[in-house]
Each structure stands twice: as C-alpha cells, then as structure tokens.
Structure 1
Amino acid sequence: MNALRLLKHDHRIVEALFKQFEKAGEKAYKEKKEIVRWIVKELSIHAAIEEELLYPVARARDEGLKKDVLEALEEHHVVKWTLKELEGMSAEDERFDAKVTVLIENIRHHVKEEEGDLFPKLEKLMGKAELEALGEALEQAKKTVPTHPHPKSPDSPPGNLVAGVLAKILDAGRDAARSGGRRAMKTLGRATGRTKTRASPAKKRARRAATAR
C-alpha cells in the first residue's frame, strides 16, 4: 500500500475511536477505558513507525523538511506523555475525560498539519514506486514496534531502533501479564507476528468507520 494512504488510514481509525469516546456516556467508565486502551495502542504504533521510517526518509529526501520533522517529533513527545498518564488513570478520575479531550485536540491538529503540509510535500518528492516500498516497510514495522508509549526513549535513528526493540519486548511481556493464561500466549504470539489480534468491539467499529470513508 502507498505509504501516505496507509498513514491516512491509521488517522481515520484513530479519529473513529475519538468519536466513539466523545459519544460515550459521562459514566460509561468501562467503555471509555477500553476505547482509550485502543487509542493508546494505535497511536503508539503509528508514532513509532513514523519516527523509525517516515521522518528519516523525509529528511533524507529534502533537508528542507527538517523543521516539519522536528515539530512533528515534539508533538509526538507531548502526546506520548499524555498517553503514558492515561494508561495509569482510572476512567473515573475527574481529570480523565479532560486529558483525553486535550489529547484528541492535539492529535487532530497534528493530523491536519501532516495531511495538509508534510504529506503533499512527500508526494511531490517521492515517486509511486518509492511510496509503495515505504508503505510495505511501514506495514512490516507495525509488527515490531512498541505497543505502549515510551516518552523517555529516543525518537530518532539510530537510538530509537535499538530502544524500540527493547520496548517491544517489554510491551509483549506487559500485554502477556495483562491477558493471563492462554490469552498470554496469544499476546506473545502477536508480538512476534505469529498470530492475529482479536479486536475489541470498539476497534472493530473504528475499522469499519475508517474503511467506509
């Protein structure tokens, strides 16, 4: 798949999750926590593949994109800290909804800048074959990058490549502990790309919404 199309599809999935959260009832704590769990995972993976591949490629093709990339990295940094805080919060915390709202506003701003500025620039700089090859690399990278936020880890090569591998191992163990028993084995299998993840109802609805666009 074309790299920019793949990343835009990721954006649509996350936006669908945002809308689900916004429609959830004020006291739908369990539902909102589950939606946020998927938001955290989707954004963690998306940020990681952009940092490992998209942004380095952008700077390699045109150093004039340095400013765009550095701003994007700073936006990612802020988002990761918010995701980290949300992971440790109860949905009943009085600041939970407010924190998610700020996260949504930041991501929508980030997406608007990427799709309105950076992506069109890359489309002009890169040929169809290059974008297809990058898209394949991004898709493969999704299997090996962290599934949780690691705001203290490096976000640029080569540091993020090494840190990303270690973070992925830690995340796999963390997901396994959360699942328990047979579900733990499935989680570890997913970490190595050997099994498929069973999406929650929230994730399935988000995928359908993104595909329908």
Structure 2
Amino acid sequence: MDTQQDVIAVLVTDHREVEQMFSKLEHMKGDISEEAKTLAEQVVIELVRHSVAEEEYLYPAVREHVPGGDKTADHEIAEHAEAEETMKRLEGLEPRDADFWPTTDLLIKQIRHHLQEEENDLFPRLREACPPEQLVELGNKVQRAKKLAPTRPHPSAPDTPPANKLLAPGAGLVDRIRDALTGRGRS
C-alpha cells in the first residue's frame, strides 16, 4: 500500500517517473507539436510537486538526522532553486522557440545530476541515520504534501520551513485552478 512506503521509496518512484518523461522528451527533441509542450508541462508539474515535498519534509529530516545534514540540505535546496529558474524559463517557451529544446536539455541535465546525488549519497545516509518508522511517517507526509503542492515554479517563494509549509498549499490551490482553467499539462 502506498501509504506504507518510506520516504526514500516514495521519492525514488517519483525519480523513475520523471526519468520516463525525460526519455520521451529526448525522443521528441526538435518536435514543435503541442504534445511536446504538454509533456514539458507535465515534467514541470511533477518536478515542482516533488521539490516542494522534499523541501517541506525530506531536508528538515536530513538536517535533524544526517551528520553534516545542514550543509547537505543547503546544497540540495540550492540545486532545486537553480532547476526552478530553468523551469520558470521553460514555462514561458513554446517548442517552436529556439530556446525550448536547449532549456529542456539543461533542465534534464540539472535534474539527473540532482537525482543521482540523492540516490547515491543522501538517501543511503538518511536510511542509516533515521529510524525506519520515521522514514515511513515521512513518506506519508511527502505523499500528502505533493497533493497540495504548487504545480508551477515559484522561484521567489520560501524553500525552508516554516514559511514554505504555510504558503505552499495556497500557491498549490491557485496553480491547480489555473491549470484546470487553461488545460495546462493535459493531453
């Protein structure tokens, strides 16, 4: 059952889903269709939801449990901020724009680097340092946070608690309403 997955399993599942979307985008490179735009929108939606949930729950746990966790969390949050700027640029582009595919490539490169760091370094360190029942509790919190999280990049929004936990649900509601009205991310 999904609600019993630990935080690492939840996040690795997200990583695999995003990687599948990246592969599809890479096979579409140069395509100027609405399908390419929709897939890029879906990637951004998933990445924003994932990042917000990590910033709300994963990185505070890293700070608390992992030796050197403050430095690690700060590094991961900085990578999120960099990718969020790229997502914001991508959001304003169409596949026919000269910058669309180079910006997509940059985002894929940034995210793959980030995912590799998390899976090869951060997650093993967290699993070693944090009690299993707390990892499951964090998994449940991350899943709930993703449902309420924004779906659009907000580079100027706070990325650490408590401000991010207070503002993200409201921004998420506004984003989901905008997405419903515009059809963003739907094929």
Normalising by structure 1, report the TM-score: 0.81
Structure with more contact order per residue of length (Cα contacts < 8 Å, sep ≥ 6):
2
What does the per-residue CA deviation read over 1:17-65, in whole Å, with 9 as the maximum and x for residues that have no partner? 0000011152342221111011000000000000000001111123621
Residues in 1 aligned to 2:154 and 2:31: alpha-carbon distance in whole angstroms = 29
2:118 to 114, 124, 143: 114
Q: Percent identity between the aligned chains? A: 37
Normalising by structure 2, report the TM-score: 0.92
* Structure 1 residues without counterparts, runs of 5 or longer: 180-186, 188-198, 202-213
Shift of 1:200: 5.5
Asked whether the equivalents of residues 56 and 160 of structure 2 are also in contact (C-alpha less than 8 Å), the reply is yes
User: Equivalent residue for 1:204?
Assistant: none
Q: Structure 1 residues 75, 25: CA separation in 2 closer, same or farther (over 3 Å shift)?
A: closer
User: Equivalent residue for 1:79?
Assistant: 83
Off by >4 Å, runs of 4+ in structure 1:
none
Asked whether the equivalents of residues 49 and 145 of structure 1 are also in contact (C-alpha less than 8 Å), the reply is yes
User: Equivalent residue for 2:97?
Assistant: 93
Range with greater deviation from structure 2 (147-156 or 57-66)? 57-66
Shift of 1:166: 2.4
Cα-Cα RMSD? 1.7
1:42-191 equivalences in 2 (<5 Å): 42-62=46-66, 64-179=68-183
The total of aligned residue pairs comes to 183
Residues in 2 aligned to 1:200 and 1:12: alpha-carbon distance in whole angstroms = 20
Residues in 2 aligned to 1:27 and 1:136: alpha-carbon distance in whole angstroms = 38
* Structure 2 residues without counterparts, runs of 5 or longer: none
Counterpart amino acid of 1:94? A
Residues in 2 aligned to 1:132 and 1:34: alpha-carbon distance in whole angstroms = 33
What does the per-residue CA deviation read over 1:101-125, in whole Å, with 9 as the maximum and x for residues that have no partner? 0110110100111001110000001
Q: Structure 1 residues 106, 49: CA separation in 2 closer, same or farther (over 3 Å shift)?
A: same
What does the per-residue CA deviation read over 1:75-104, in whole Å, with 9 as the maximum and x for residues that have no partner? 100111111111111110011000000110
Asked whether the equivalents of residues 14 and 50 of structure 2 are also in contact (C-alpha less than 8 Å), the reply is yes
Counterpart amino acid of 1:14? V
